[in-house]
A = this chain, B = another copy of it.
């Protein structure tokens, strides 16, 4: 019998694991909250990732449980493990992707370079931090944030009042003076094998990833080496299994600082579906099953991924295929079967080739057919 993988969450990351599972002959099953989510084709159970009974019933029928998102509570994860369920990444690792305060504390202890940060529970503590950092900072809720949600630039301690009123500590970080954002993806098996993709540049708009360039221009040498060292240290020290995305700031004074961690396939790795010998989705499945990892060489000198954000405001994505496919026949199109909504990630496109400017042009041109 084929090995079975249970994915908690039915979003586009679970969706994009399905082709990889089909190719490898693996049995993939998804626990989704509702019918009609992007990974619907592999949904075998509807239920909540916040309900132990739902998760347990789903998890006990598969060889390994993994995730589309990091929102399954630690209490449920630990109960699964105590009942013998194979959970990858483990709760011990996943806590650092779930809780940004825990992540900052752990990375600081490891000596991994991070922005200046502090744990705050009062406006006075925040005021003190701001006073030490040019009067500005980035305030984050430790849990539950994504794509710019749960993140706020603050220049006055009073700006934190509403979040502090909700109780619980907050994380404040220095507003990093960065040149660009980068991401280093790595996959790691429980038995220790580790494979890195090239360092990439991630262009964010309104707190959401808009474009990814692989490899990051002018990154060969020191920059790539430092990023690989950081990702390797994090993956090994935290015992991460599956794909780990380390989002980085390249500062104007040439340092690399860790911004965020994700322990699952990540938007900055979507280019690997078409641009790498082994996609992040295939690699994640191999890794969580503790199978040998695939080669991570690039298929083209340059790959550029552009997200389709929002989608058409009239008609459907499918109405735009004709014009896009005609104009850009070499671009690879990926759509998640999500209804258009402003800012929503409804798909992405990837172009590859020898000339970066030309590759960027093709990817942006293809994506633009799905705007407005």
List chain A positions with a Cβ less than 8 A from chain B. 1-3, 15-16, 18-19, 22-25, 27-28, 41-42, 273, 277-278, 286, 291-295, 297, 299, 316-318, 321-322, 325-326, 329-330, 332-337, 347
Contact = CB atoms under 8 A, between A and B. Distances in A.
A122 B27 CA distance: 51
Contact of A294 (B273, B318, B322, B329): B329
B325 A291 contact: yes
Contacts of A333: 23-25
A295 B330 CA distance: 5
B25 A277 contact: no
A58 to B, nearest CB: 17
9 contacts: A2-B316, A2-B317, A18-B41, A23-B333, A23-B335, A25-B317, A25-B318, A41-B42, A292-B326
A329 B23 contact: no
Binding site secondary structure of chain A: mixed
B22 A18 contact: yes
Protomer copies: 2
A317 B291 CA distance: 13
Contact of A19 (B2, B19, B25, B317): B19
A198 B333 CA distance: 23
A329 B19 contact: no
A98 B232 CA distance: 56
A297 B330 CA distance: 9
Contacts of A3: 318
A322 B15 contact: no
Nearest to A294: B329
A337 B25 contact: yes
Given A286-B325, A294-B325, A25 B347 contact: yes
- Ranked nearest first, the 4 interchain pairs of A and B with the lowest CB-CB distance are A25-B335, A19-B19, A292-B325, A295-B330
Contacts of A293: 325, 329
Given A19-B22, A294-B325, 4 more contacts: A2-B317, A19-B23, A27-B337, A41-B41
A277 B299 CA distance: 11
